[in-house]
Amino acid sequence: MTVNAPAAAGTEAVREQAPGHKKQLSEGARAERRLGWLLCAPAVIVMLGVTGYPIIYAIWLSLERYNLELPQQVKFIGFANYGAVLSSGYWWTALEVTLIITVFSVAITLVLGMLLAQLMHRTLFGRGTVRTAALIPYGIVTVAAAYGWQYAWTPSQGYLSAAFNNSAPLTTQFQAIIVIIVAEIWKTTPFMGLLLLAGLSLVPEDLQKAAKVDGASAWQRFTKITLPLMKPAILVALLFRTLDSFRIFDNIYILTAGANSTGSVSILGYDNLFSALNLGIGSAISVLIFICVAIIAIIFIRGFGTAAPGTDSGSR
């Protein structure tokens, strides 16, 4: 999903430039374009095969009553599966849990990532070491890290549980969601930090100095200069993180497996597909997740497109 986002943003940009070029395509340009298509045709065909086909098949399955263990009873039922999902409390609980995890983990990651980026930006010596050290949590396999968190929070085994009076936070909904959010933040802050660092390095040092001479305080320089110039980088980072976070699966799968209403929409989809073997309902859930992700992407890209500075007007 996330891979598509910049590509989509790119097409927006192309579309904006297009009107000028549209009519006068020379013979050579047309040939070049044809060659371009030919060259990327293999990639397009592979992409269609490995992403297009499964997506269309999932949509088709979502319109059927199809239990893997009842192959004799497969039947086309239109949108009934969507009706079943959208009228089920389980879906709305899972969506609520997913949104809570997404909003809190992304917001906190953004703040911490910004601090980390500032730190990495300003470090004078040992830059490489600092950046490498910061990346360690991101480099650890999520499932392995999740097991680490799980053991840490297991009473009479884990040091975190022991530090909190031998508590078992993974057995109640509220506390388990906090643990999941913390695990997400720990894991993804370095990634956010790196993306923001890239944005931060785009802010010209001269501008900062000029503002300083004009008497702007550190906070004013941050909010009036750094943030506006970093906005594109922040939005891209937010888009990536939001989409990732919305599709959260592995951390929850290991930490609680969705018990006590801590499952995300992906966990719900997995359970319906792989435990209940209900391909119809499970596919309907997958398609709904796909739609949610698309909505998030559209909101971000539209917002990105309209508010993007760095084009000629804007903050300069």
Could you list the residues that contact another protein (CB under 8 A)? 1-3, 65-71, 73, 80, 84-85, 88, 90-91, 138, 142, 168, 171, 187-188, 191, 240, 244, 247-250, 258-261, 263, 268, 271-272, 274-278, 280-281, 285
Least spacing, CB of residue 65 vs another protein, in Å: 5
3-class DSSP state for residue 259?
coil
Q: Give the C-alpha separation, 133 to 79, whole Å.
A: 50
Q: Give the C-alpha separation, 252 to 254, whole Å.
A: 5
Least spacing, CB of residue 250 vs another protein, in Å: 7
Least spacing, CB of residue 8 vs another protein, in Å: 14
Helix (H) or strand (E) holding 251: helix 250-255
Q: What's the token pair of residue 49?
A: 């095969």
Nearer to another protein, 77 or 227 (CB): 77
Nearer to another protein, 48 or 307 (CB): 48
- The one-letter code for the residue type at 1 is M
Q: Give the C-alpha separation, 152 to 149, whole Å.
A: 5
Least spacing, CB of residue 227 vs another protein, in Å: 23
Q: Give the C-alpha separation, 175 to 168, whole Å.
A: 9
Least spacing, CB of residue 276 vs another protein, in Å: 5
Least spacing, CB of residue 50 vs another protein, in Å: 14
Nearer to another protein, 84 or 100 (CB): 84
Q: Give the C-alpha separation, 59 to 46, whole Å.
A: 20
Nearer to another protein, 39 or 213 (CB): 39
Q: Which residues contact 185 (CB under 8 A, 6 or more apart)?
A: 105, 108, 109, 112
Residue 225 CA to its chain's centroid (Å): 27
Decide: 262 and 44 in contact? Cβ < 8 Å: no
Q: Give the C-alpha separation, 157 to 146, whole Å.
A: 15
Q: Whose structure tokens read 């597909």?
A: 273
Least spacing, CB of residue 213 vs another protein, in Å: 39
Nearer to another protein, 277 or 295 (CB): 277
Nearer to another protein, 104 or 191 (CB): 191
Nearer to another protein, 192 or 230 (CB): 192
